[in-house]
Amino acid sequence: MAEASGTANIGVVGMAVMGSNLARNLASREGNTVAVYNRSPERTRKLVSEHPEAGFVASESVDDFVASLAKPRTAIIMVQAGAGTDAVISELAERFEPGDIIVDGGNANFHDTIRREKDVSASGIHFVGTGISGGEEGALKGPSIMPGGTAEAYKTLGPILASIAAVAEGEPCVTHIGTDGAGHFVKMVHNGIEYADMQLIAEAYDLLRTITKREPAELAEVFTAWNSGDLESYLIEITAEILKQVDAETGKPFVDIVLDQAGAKGTGSWTVQNALDLGVPVGGIAEAVFARSLSSHPEQREAVQATISSRPDVVEVDVDTFADDIRAALYASKVVAYAQGFDEIVAGAAQYGWNIDKGAVAKIWRAGCIIRAQFLNRIVEAYEKNPDITTLLEDPYFASAVADGEAAWRRVVSTAALSGVPVPGFGAALSYYDALSVKRLPAALVQGQRDFFGAHTYKRIEKEGTFHTLWSGDRTEIESAPSTH
């Protein structure tokens, strides 16, 4: 192992797949000398021996690792989010000096990042919570990177991150998102959108399979065709690949031999939990999270199935026309999911005092990350035209894209309901669009109910003030202070 030399401009702690791939990516770029460290040294030794070309400066103790870094010392932590991250942060913080930079590149909860930034920066050390998307391959070849932290830390860190980021239309997919937890917040929303996008694609597949009765291999061709044009994206591309796959053991389509219970590590749930706290309706994202939870309750599914003697007949459709309808419904629902995600970014920025450039976020998601898609260029354009739009759905391009697909969207959701195919994502997205579109919502009746049982008061449509009706008295109306209970 190399001795401490103080020559590495960047270090990586944590040599699991993401960490070692990121370290290899860093080492492959001109100008970087990369220090590496892992709690158990075997992993470090393996990486160093398998990749002599990387010229890693490897250490087997934290002291040696810290000594191997040039000043300002900059180290990226790539260990499991949670307690493991806290332990590494304190080991580094004890040894780092003011001006040095600790980067957490894991999928941390942004509330933890805010707390950690506060603690670490008290001693003059920078702490940068950074979202990194793109999975194992992205880490190796070019991820999309979402750093928070101070602008000062970004001066040192930015060029290093730009050297390894994916490139979209000539621009590296990294931007300083905002202070403290802003990077991890935006990565969280990215993952919420990822959940929604995946669920919508899965619903499209289910509809095609059940209603048009085509086999996975044929459907792979449909998704391949959809991967040019509006829907072009990494998730559509890999869907076609997965549908093509045949299980070697049974000869069946791969998708038919996988247990239909979806897992989740928590970032989707965080997106919804925080949306609830922020008061942002993200129904499309929430339904995607719930769809995974529902799938993972086989006992309830079996219990209900045991009560059912027959399921609805599938509605007869013209196969090609219906496939086109699903494509349109998928696109419209996807627009809604992204609009909801960006709404949460706007609300989070206001709540936590971040100045987030939405167009810049859309730009760095165009390559490297899991939700990379052609469509993000349209979002970039929408925010370039007007950074203050109240919803992406008011942008003329998206307004007409959704309006053009509207009739197909309604046919798909109603055909799904009549045929008994669950479409929580398509359905929630359409209801969201309808709720924004109608002139009056039944929220007026809800206000009446609240006032009836709890004197919670209401406002009137034609005059200022707060009112209460004496429901248990003579039912006359009085002016009232707004209710606080």
Please classify residue 338 by burial: count the beta carbons closer than 10 Å to its beta carbon, then call 0-12 exposed, 13-18 middle and 19+ buried.
Answer: buried
Min dist. Cβ of residue 140 to ligand 6PG (A): 12
Residue with token string 């309006």: 403
- 171 vs 44: CA distance, rounded Å: 32
* Long-range contacts formed by 240-246: CB under 8 A, 24+ apart: 243/205, 243/216, 243/217, 243/219, 244/216, 244/217, 244/220
Annotated catalytic sites, by residue?
Answer: 187, 194
Nearest approach in angstroms of CB 101 to ligand 6PG is: 22
CB of 264 to ligand 6PG, least distance (A): 4
Give me the helices (H) in 212-354, please.
216-226, 234-244, 254-257, 267-278, 283-295, 298-307, 319-352
Rounded distance between C-alpha atoms, residue 335 and residue 340, angstroms: 9
Residue 254 near residue 215, CB atoms below 8 Å: no
Helix (H) or strand (E) segment spanning residue 416: helix 396-419
Closer to ligand 6PG by Cβ: residue 234 or 322: 234
> Least distance in Å: CB of 240 to ligand 6PG?
19
Q: Which is nearer to ligand 6PG, 226 or 234 (CB)?
A: 234
**Residue nearest to ligand 6PG according to CB distances in the complex:** 133
CA 31 – CA 480 distance, rounded (Å): 69
Can you spell out the DSSP letters for 196-239? HHHHHHHHHHHHHHHHS---HHHHHHHHHHHTSSTT-BHHHHHH
DSSP-based three-state secondary structure for 103? strand
Q: Is the CB of residue 55 less than 8 Å from the CB of residue 33? A: yes
Contact call for residues 283 and 341 (beta carbons, < 8 A):
no
Q: Which is nearer to ligand 6PG, 11 or 268 (CB)?
A: 268
Q: Closest Cα partner for 137 from 17, 257, 28, 226?
A: 17
Nearer to ligand 6PG, 191 or 227 (CB): 191
Query: By C-beta, is 71 or 265 nearer to ligand 6PG?
Result: 265
**What one-letter code names the amino acid at 11?**
G
Nearer to ligand 6PG, 238 or 264 (CB): 264
Q: How far apart are CA 382 and CA 385, in angstroms?
A: 5
Closer residue to ligand 6PG, CB minimum distance, 189 or 412: 189
Q: Given the rule CB under 6 A, which residues bind ligand 6PG?
A: 107, 133-135, 191, 194, 263-265, 267-268, 369-370
Residue 373 to residue 232: CA distance in whole angstroms: 6
> In the 8-state DSSP scheme, what is residue 3?
P
Q: In terms of CB distance, is 188 or 408 closer to ligand 6PG?
A: 188
Report which residue type is found at 219.
L
Residue 417: CB atoms within 10 A of its CB come to 14
Minimum CB distance to ligand 6PG smaller for 134 or for 148? 134
Q: From the CB of residue 396, how many other CB atoms can be counted at a distance below 10 Å?
A: 10
Bridge partners (DSSP) of residue 130 are 147
Closest C-alpha to 334, from 403, 240, 231, 234: 231
- Burial class from Cβ neighbours inside 10 Å (0-12, 13-18, 19+) for residue 436 reads middle
